[in-house]
């Protein structure tokens, strides 16, 4: 039984995220949550069932009241141009970070060509988004009340 569990964990860590049915990247499909090594979460919650019956598991792996989390959508362009195969050439894999006053977490790789990333159950204290090339250039923006951002990447 232990070998089966280890095998399933290993397969999950190797999963390459793909766009969901509407063609946009969604955090529910992201296995490469870099808040923990090899996408294996060793703290907090990973599912709502691990929280109290009146709480949900936030994307930062802590439990929250449902009204303390929200859905945020990030759309992007590249120097004003739409993200397509030509414009994304050389930076096809992006990284997205959600920042609070004390914590940061994010997802990578995020396919550049999709031009959109939606995160559900984002705790309210995360007020800023950074999107860009890992360990390189990018852009950041405060999350507006509309919960939808338009970031123009500088490349």
Percent share of the chain, pLDDT over 90: 68
Q: In terms of CATH architecture, what is 21-153?
A: Sandwich (2.60)
Query: What confidence score (pLDDT) does residue 92 get?
Result: 87
Query: What confidence score (pLDDT) does residue 40 get?
Result: 54
Is the pLDDT score of 107 beyond 60?
A: yes
Separation CA 154–CA 19 (nearest Å)? 24
Stretch 23-48: mean pLDDT, rounded?
Answer: 57
Is there a contact between 17 and 32 (Cβ–Cβ < 8 Å)? yes
pLDDT band for position 78 (cuts 50, 70, 90): very high
Separation CA 141–CA 78 (nearest Å)? 15
pLDDT higher at 27 or 91:
91
Q: What are the extents of the domains in the chain? A: 21-153
Separation CA 129–CA 75 (nearest Å)? 11
User: Which among 10, 138, 1, 2 is positioned nearest to 74, based on CA atoms?
Assistant: 138
Stretch 122-126: mean pLDDT, rounded?
Answer: 98
């Amino acid at each position: 039984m232990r070998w089966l569990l280890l095998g399933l964990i290993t397969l999950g860590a190797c999963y390459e995220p793909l766009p969901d049915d509407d063609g946009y990247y969604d955090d529910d499909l992201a296995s490469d949550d870099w808040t923990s090594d090899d996408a294996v979460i060793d703290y907090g919650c990973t599912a709502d069932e691990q929280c109290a019956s009146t709480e949900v598991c936030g994307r930062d792996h802590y439990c929250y009241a449902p009204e303390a989390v929200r859905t945020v959508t990030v759309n992007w362009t590249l120097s004003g141009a739409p993200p397509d195969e030509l414009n994304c050439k050389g930076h096809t894999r992006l990284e997205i970070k959600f920042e609070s006053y004390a914590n940061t977490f994010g997802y990578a790789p995020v396919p550049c060509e999709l031009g959109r990333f939606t995160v559900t159950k984002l705790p309210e204290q995360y007020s800023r988004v950074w999107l860009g090339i890992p360990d390189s250039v990018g852009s950041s923006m405060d999350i507006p009340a509309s919960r939808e951002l338009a970031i123009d990447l500088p490349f």
